[in-house]
Structure 1
Amino acid sequence: MKLSLATRIFLGYAVVLVTFGAVSLFSVAELHRNQLEIRLVSQGYLQLSQDAAALESFHTNQEKDTERILEEPSAETRRGFIRLARLYVPSLMTERLREAQDRAREVRGLAPAGEVRFVMDLESRLAELSLRAQSYGRAAEAVFTVLAREAPAPDEVARVGAELRQQETAIGRDIRFLRAVLNNRIRERVDGAEERERRTGLAIITLSVLAIIVGLVATAWSARTLRPVRTLIEAVSRIGRGDYSAQLGVAGEDEVAVLAREFDAMARSLQAREAQLKAQAEALMRAEQLAAVGRISAQVAHEVRNPLSSIGLNVELMQDAFAHATFDSPAEAHEAREILGAVTREVDRLTEVTEQYLRMARPPRPSLEPTDVTEVLASVLDFSREELERAGVEVVRELSPANPRALADEGQLRQVFLNLLRNAREAMLDGGRLTITTQAHAREVEVSLRDTGHGMSEAVRAHLFEPFFSTKEDGTGLGLAVCQQILKAHGGELSCQSAPGQGTTFFVRLPRA
């Protein structure tokens, strides 16, 4: 189940509130239970114990009064004691027992379910005492009747006195037992209350600690849930400073995780856009450079080309004239011809340079047609075979049998391949291996030319396609720039991979026909 950030935080603190609420409810319940226990003991058992003590005290006094009546020698005094005893003995005992029974019934209403049986047992004992009190009253009345005579028979007095003492002993035993039972119950309840209070205190402390732990866990969970927000703020600051490489990588399905993934996508998009803008800026700068170079080249070529043509024509005329001229010695004739040949070669070289400048300044628009790249490449290799063999270069052809066709201008493509073959030959002055591979991809045709030359450093490779940059002493630095310009016009690309001492590989990529 996917939970939102607000829901998760709410649930965390709801658990904390429920935990503390449970602790509070437990404490209130235990306090209420202890209150009921105290009420049961103080208003119930203690009162019943006091009633039992009063019954015992009253019964003890009654026993003493009975002994005094039985031992009184004066008949007149004895009859006075008997009249007094008849007034209060039965009624007071019955009244006290009735009060005790009423209190026992009240206690039964206060007692929990576990104490009802004990209270009912107390009620039955009080009921038995009430019956014994009634029997004792009748026995006492029999004694009083005998003793009220002028000359009671000793045997009859002894008999009724013995019955009365027996009744008193039984009642006294029952009252003492009732009081002992009540005292034991009070002590048990007090001890149980103290033990329960101790356990309740430990339980409250334990539950409070548990509630605190739950609160800390909930706080830590909330902090962990909100941690990506701080990371997101830091990443936003980094992007504000221009660092688009910030990636959060937050997993999950809540709002923060979704926002973090959207932020990562935005950062990648900005990074790609920045790289694209940088590449476009570099391409624009290169285009501006090429435009400036083209304008200068066109002007220089225009100013130099016509004089070069004139010079070349005049040198040819001089060579024809030298064929009929006479010299003082063959050495002078040979020297003159050598000088004219050197001038001719320099004129041809300068003419080629001006042609390169003109091609840079006014590159012809390519006529794109489906072209068999393998066939063009094979034709160029056949044309350059003798030159490559003289340089000691072994050519390894790994041409695709599928004969992939590309949209290209065959003449300009030949120019590109010738330039790359010449550069590879010049990179392997002591000979080497040149491996040429063609591959057909889904949307492009790729040609790679891998030589075993000395390679180049990263610094050199970074400026390889800039105009006028060359590592050759007699190079113009326009060959690769022109090749790159031609391939860009084809919708293709020229790239290079190289490392010092590991050779160089050029990749030509053209759109498939």
Structure 2
Amino acid sequence: MKLSLATRIFLGYAVVLVTFGAVSLFSVAELHRNQLEIRLVSQGYLQLSQDAAALDSFHTNQEKDTERLLEEGNAETRRALIRLARLYVPSLMSERLNDALVRAREVRALAPPGEVPFVQDLESRLGELAHRYPTYGRAAEAVFTVLASESPPADEVARAATELRQQENAIGRDIRFLRAALTNRIRERVDGAEDRERRTGLAIITLSVLAIIVGLVATAWSARTLRPVRTLIEGVSRIGRGDYSAQLGVRGDDEVAVLAREFDAMARSLQAREAQLKAQAEALMRAEQLAAVGRISAQVAHEVRNPLSSIGLNVELMQDAFEHATFDSPEEAREAREILAAVTRQVDRLTEVTEQYLRMARPPRPSLEPTDVTEVLASVLDFSREELERAGVEVVRELSPEPPRALADEGQLRQVFLNLLRNAREAMLGGGRLTIATQVQARDVVVALRDTGRGMTEAVLSRIFEPFFTTKEDGTGLGLAVCQQILQAHGGELSCQSEPGRGTTFFVRLPRA
């Protein structure tokens, strides 16, 4: 019987699935076995070991109480101790032994067949202790009876005490032996589990390798089965490279021919869709360019118009003053100087705004080189020291001992740091503290600039990187947008955290060199 293409491929990969399924079943079985072993140790032997430790501790306390009772010289105190001892000797110890027996029976139900004899031996030892303890109780009661009198005979006390100590020593040896047996068994089971885990790991690795080999063989067989579709593969490769005009033209009624016709239909559909998306992308790009040009032009016109008017008026006044008047008084001289200062300020402001617009519209491509961020920060802080000191800003440097070298354009990075320092200074009008910290991570260098200024609300924080958004009266709203644009061109990012009244922290993240 001739099998179809899908059936042959299915059979090949069914073999792979069965092989990996067998490996998985083996892994699950071993895992279940380990879980049973852990359950036996954690819920069985460890609990019994704790019971044995409690019995040992309780018996040790009983021995100490017996010695204290024998050494007590006051009759009233002895009788009080005897009354107290009769409350829990041997009843409390018998209760604990019964609890241990119940737990041993529960462990026997959990234990595999190989562990049943050991658990039965534990049960027999606990049973012997439970049977021996009434004898110990009678010996203890004999001591209590002798010591309850005002002047107990020394020979009777010695005889009863000797009998009681013999009982206590025998019980103590049995309890310690029981505890040691449990401890050794736990150690043996843990060591065996670790050894079995290592063997299981090697077996799983070996079986996995065999399964991979089977998978490779099945893949090779499937590839051989798919040789008749080479024409289809070549046509699909052309479509994958973007040549949607490729038409396979495979004729026939088999599976390959049906698949080829479907690919021809898909290619025609993709060709039409690509043309549609290309047209839409071009239209969207033109709309974005026009919108950007419109926003920049409107802002430039708004920012430049008033300074130019002021410059023209002040220059005209200055010319009239110099042409028609002499400086006979200090007031006139001061006025001329003020006018000249106003012209200078407006020119500087116009220059700064124009440069920001130009940087936003045509950002220069960064020249990325390994740069020591600490040195750039130091030079920027030295440049801004006088300005920061006049504003009452204290600079705290928490720099990483490891030199933070990043891939950056030093000039553009300096521009980012200057802008952030200026913003921090303006946020602390009455002075404050500016903390600059660097941190070297696995792939990035992070610089944190934390001020103690007035902070920002959530609404403001969500818009600080938008072009032309500003909260300053004379701001352009381009400073942070330009900084973000520069860092994105570096492959980094600029982020911010702020709370009203608690200051602001800017994080500069750069790729590590």
Q: TM-score range by the shorter chain?
A: 0.3 to 0.5
- The normalised TM-score by structure 1 is 0.43
- The normalised TM-score by structure 2 is 0.43
Greater Cα radius of gyration, structure 1 or 2: 1
